[in-house]
Amino acid sequence: MTYDKAWFENMENKIPKGGVRTRFAPSPTGYMHVGGLRTALYAYLVAKKSGGAFILRIEDTDQSRFVEGATEIIKETLNGAGLKYDEGPDIGGPAAPYTQSERRELYRPYAELLCEKGAAYYCFCEHKEQESGDESGDGEGGNFQLETDPCRNLPFAGSKSRIDAGEPFVIRMKAPRDGATTVSDMVFGEVTTQNKILDDMVLLKRDGMPTYNFANVIDDHLMGITHVMRGSEYISSAPKYNLLYQAFGWEIPAYITVSLIMRDAQNKLSKRQGDPTYDDLLSQGYLPDAVLNYVALLGWSPGGEQEIFSLSEMLEVFDVSGISKSPATFDLEKLNHFNSEYIRALPPERFAELAEPYIRKSVKSGGISTAAIAQILQARCEKLSDIPEKVDFFDSLPEYESGLYVHKKSKTDESISKEMLSAASAALGALGDWTSESIHDALISLAEKLGVKNATLMWPVRIAISGKAVTPGGAVEICWILGKNETLSRIGAGIAKLG
RNA sequence: GGCCCGUUGGUCAAGUGGUUAAGACGGCGGCCUCUCACGCCGCAAACAGGAGUUCGACUCUCCUACGGGUCACCA
């Protein structure tokens, strides 16, 4: 491949210009980290806040990591979370293609351009496959030694002929040995690094594919990205990116580096350690909006006291200055809280829709209205997945101990309960209309007539019809949902048990 | 280990030299009440440590400790 000035000029001319452009650039691993979702959200907010463009780019330069269907998961996540991208693999755009493997032929010319400029070089050193084998410490994957590397100062022309002869090579950046590089980051401020500690990172791999770091710089530039957000694991690479931009003579984008999300003080959130991914959370019955809202607040604070934000409200208040440098620990308890807030805020019909499949996991009987059950559930669950266990008594009365009828606060014991059940059975049996109002009125007036507090009557009835000490909803609602026949039959069984 | 970054209650966090150091989750107690939940009221709980600078430090500087990140032909 030869250096062609016109080709580069053409590439430059195609770069989209004007306005803020941000990108979410995940690698297709087959799942979405909550940290990734947060990065995507921030990138979206930064772009949309100023009417700019939000771009999805797939970073699949590691062919060995290809996961079937992984890009679909990413697209679905973004769409499901409401983070609509303006340009991306499936919808195209001015900087297409948006999948790095489809851009592979773009990277080599740029790497070679750097070689010609003397900012990079061909390296023919043997390399050892890097595999997990030895973990910590000084294993070293490869025999590259910057200080003694024979390729670093190879004359350009000589290298060329070796390549033409078919010798395998990589292209490495030639990091300066003196001076310092200062990176300016909107979150971390100015960070200066001594160039001598920088290594000659590989730009183009032996297979001709670019490394993540190189592809990132090329694509961010070619796609006209103005604000680059990424996790703090990349901050130590930032000086190398700057050096690359400088070598090309390109403008350096604004960096917005966000800190990590931790599982606890010493470990970051990781799927491998069993921490839930975004997809896991959804399948556990968390609502996308709730997760998004919670995650937004991990490492970012709007400043005020409001915590519940819709996406459009976030757009109003979001500001990079509220992003924190220190890592945040992911707290499921707090997510639970957000989720229950969101569940309670749902229109009842919508909640019924979402709850239905979970209710059906334990309530198979067709005669029972899942909408009615949903009604008593809405204020009582943190996540959808805790529904089945709460409503398992509707289908059939569970086995229970008569000891459940003893409840001090309600002033009942087994013998009082038996009396109450008999009275309730008669009163309910006489009822014509079976509505929650009629049931309610019947039982309340019965308690009054008997001269007992409501609880003394309600407790045994609820126990008899549910067989559980704790139920969603009270005696009245459960009677109503169960229907007259089933209610009377369960109360009868209760009386028999106490007999 | 080198380099970089961080450190306010258990957790998320506000705070930007002078505050009774917010608020939320969780915890605890209470109210409401036909159980539970919701809702409401209240309580406990924090500036990592040490030197400076200053009339005055959570806020500025330095050191220490602890934690994290990074040092791949992975991203």
Residue A131 pLDDT level (bands cut at 50, 70, 90): very low
Nucleotides of strand B within 7 Å of the protein's CB atoms: 2-8, 10-15, 22-26, 33-39, 67-75
**Residue A130 Cβ < 7 Å to strand B:** yes
pLDDT above 90: percentage of residues in chain A:
88
Q: Which residues of A110-140 are buried (b: 16+ CB within 10 A; e: fewer)?
A: bbbbbbeeebbbbbeeeeeeeeeeeeeeeee
**CB atoms inside a 10 Å sphere around CB A317:** 14
- Assigned token pair, A379: 């204020």
Q: Which nucleotide shows the minimum CA-to-C1' distance to residue A444? A: B34
pLDDT of residue A130: 47
Compute, in degrees rounded to 10, the torsion defined by CA atoms A52, A211, A189, A327. 90
315-354 on A, CB < 7 Å from strand B:
322, 324-329, 331, 333-334, 336-337, 340, 344
**Residue A144 Cβ < 7 Å to strand B:** yes
Q: Which nucleotide shows the minimum CA-to-C1' distance to residue A326? A: B6
- Assigned token pair, A27: 């690698």
- Degrees, nearest 5: CA angle A426-A428-A430: 70
pLDDT of residue A128: 60
Q: Does the pLDDT at position A148 exceed 90?
A: no
A234 CA to B57 C1' in angstroms comes to 34
**What is the mean predicted confidence (pLDDT) over A224-242?**
96
Q: Which residue is nearest to nucleotide B24 (CA to C1')?
A: A307
**Residue A267 Cβ < 7 Å to strand B:** yes
**Residue A127 Cβ < 7 Å to strand B:** yes
Q: Does the pLDDT at position A388 exceed 70?
A: yes
Q: Do the Cβ atoms of A323 and A187 come closer than 8 Å? A: yes
What single-letter DSSP state applies at residue A397? P
CA distance A176 to A196: 7
- Assigned token pair, A65: 């990591």
pLDDT above 70: percentage of residues in chain A:
96
Among A75, A271, A334, A453, the active-site one is A271
Residue A129 pLDDT level (bands cut at 50, 70, 90): low
A462 alpha-carbon distance from chain centroid: 40
A81: Cβ–Cβ under 8 A, 6 or more apart, which residues?
Answer: A37, A40, A41, A288, A289, A291, A292
A139 CA to B74 C1' in angstroms comes to 16
- Assigned token pair, A47: 């772009």
CA distance A258 to A236: 13
pLDDT of residue A62: 84
Residue of A391, A386, A390, A381 lying closest to A284 (CA atoms):
A386
User: Is there a catalytic annotation at residue A271?
Assistant: yes
CA distance A107 to A416: 83
Distances (CA, A) of A57 to A66, A103, A280, A345, A398: 15, 11, 23, 34, 54
Distances (CA, A) of A111 to A118, A120, A172: 11, 7, 8
Lowest mean pLDDT of A67-71, A100-104, A232-236, A347-351, name the range: A67-71
Q: Which nucleotide shows the minimum CA-to-C1' distance to residue A468? A: B35
- Which position has the higher pLDDT, A292 or A125? A292
**What is the mean predicted confidence (pLDDT) over A424-438?**
96
Q: Do the Cβ atoms of A382 and A372 come closer than 8 Å? A: no
Number of residues written out for chain A? 499
**CB atoms inside a 10 Å sphere around CB A204:** 25
Q: Do the Cβ atoms of A33 and A269 come closer than 8 Å? A: yes
pLDDT of residue A138: 37
Residue A70 pLDDT level (bands cut at 50, 70, 90): very high
pLDDT per residue over A361-387, tens digit each? 999 988 899 999 999 999 999 999 999
Considering just the CA atoms, what is the radius of gyration of chain A in Å?
32
pTM (predicted TM-score):
0.94
Residue of A342, A348, A345, A347 lying closest to A372 (CA atoms):
A348
- Give the burial class of A455: count Cβ atoms within 10 A of its Cβ; 0-12 exposed, 13-18 middle, 19 or more buried: middle
CA distance A38 to A379: 28
CA distance A364 to A392: 10
CA distance A420 to A443: 10
**What is the mean predicted confidence (pLDDT) over A254-267?**
95
Phi, psi of A118 (to 5 degrees): 85, 10
CA distance A217 to A187: 20
